[in-house]
Structure 1
């Protein structure tokens, strides 16, 4: 279940979590935005945690399940990022950058889930 793609996902999801934490600090300090940013903090950091959990899965089904939950958290993060942008908390440059990163992670997770299911 450990592939090179998996390590890429682990690194990208960890980097995304750091970026989300820094964005949360920025939004609370400069925009006084606490509600949407807190939701993003929760879902954005959950992605990497679930990816890590999946590495210690008890079975292929458990592996797929953990990544499926990570997929949901990643998609939720994209939702909060879109809301932050639409409510003028993020500039279009900030939005595009973090949204592209989240979308890339989402595609990797989906790809791993599909590949793992097809190998079953």
Structure 2
């Protein structure tokens, strides 16, 4: 099983590869730029969470990962609506983002539960 640090990095790379295939236009660029930012932030903030100075810091960084992965899902959904091609690739990335959100939410809930003990 691939570790989450590598998985989030691969997610960002694969989003970038998708974005490199999208036609250059003012309309598409808004979505492309946002997707590149949010998808790369997923991995960057997950890495930062691994170096957290406290449980509160760790949870805060994981919440950012959750938000950025969810934002990535939103822009992938928009691209599904406006692009005529790459639908399978977009769906696969959307599925990966959703799985990352699920993993992160579980981690947040488990950390909170363990912290109450």
CA contact (8 A) 2:62 2:104 kept: yes
Q: Secondary structure at the match of 1:62?
A: helix
**Matched residue, 2:74:** 79
Residues 56-107 of structure 1 show CA distances to partners (whole Å, capped at 9, x for unaligned) of: 1010110000000110000000000000111125543122211111111111
Which one of the candidate residues 71, 83, 89 is aligned to 1:88? 83
Distance 1:58 1:96, change over 3 A: same
Structure 2 length normalisation: TM-score?
0.89
Q: What value does the CA root-mean-square deviation take over the aligned residues?
A: 1.6
**Matched residue, 1:106:** 101
Count of residue pairs the alignment pairs up:
112
**Matched residue, 1:55:** 50
Residues 7-35 of structure 1 show CA distances to partners (whole Å, capped at 9, x for unaligned) of: 722121011011111112121xxx22311
Give structure 1 stretches of 5+ with no counterpart: none
Give structure 2 stretches of 5+ with no counterpart: none
